[in-house]
Homo-oligomer: A and B are copies of this chain.
């Protein structure tokens, strides 16, 4: 095994998997999906569908016990309603704070778990689909360049130099991620982004708004658009 890819089943991680497969055989790639207590399992089913599409093995981990005390609105354990509106609008309400859908250090935990898996199977690269839009302002601090660089250093040091992070989209916005994915033929109809777990995407939560905009900026319709 050469590469571990964090695969949530959304647009960014699915495109990241496609990138990892550009110069690597499917049997050398292990996708890792993590359940962290989110309200629905639509995204997890998407991760399975995307992994199956590309013929890569999927390792599923349940890390939800770690977040049982979090009041993040993305989680089953939260009583609060999911926020609507773009991340920029949400941030305007609480400047300098993460948005209410920020899951405490989730991406750090996922990268650490991926590092443990990578170092267990002899893989040296951990593909991570974070992009610049998510980190914008302080919406998701665990998507920032500063975080990814520090985490990469921690993984290099802590694994005795065995593993490191590859984040192909860290300088891109979401439209550029979609652009790369369209070129690579990512089956976006199999992905899922919406925080709500309805039949169709709600079109009103932060990630729906971001996703729709990213497709529109590429002059194409999101295959999930209702």
Contacts and interface: CB of A to CB of B under 8 A. Distances in A.
A80 interface: no
A40 to B, nearest CB: 20
Nearest to A71: B120
Interface residues of A, number: 49
B157 A105 contact: no
A159 B154 CA distance: 15
A2 to B, nearest CB: 14
A97 to B, nearest CB: 7
A51 interface: no
Contacts of A142: 157-159
B158 A107 contact: yes
Contact of A61 (B65, B103, B115, B161): B65
Nearest to A104: B119
A216 to B, nearest CB: 30
Interface stretch (A15-23, A144-152, A203-211): A144-152
15 contacts: A66-B113, A66-B117, A67-B120, A69-B121, A70-B116, A104-B159, A105-B159, A108-B155, A109-B113, A138-B160, A141-B161, A142-B157, A144-B157, A151-B158, A153-B153
7 closest A-B pairs by CB: A104-B119, A112-B112, A141-B160, A70-B120, A150-B154, A142-B158, A147-B157
Given A61-B65, A141-B159, A151-B154, 7 more contacts: A69-B121, A105-B119, A105-B163, A108-B158, A144-B158, A147-B158, A151-B158
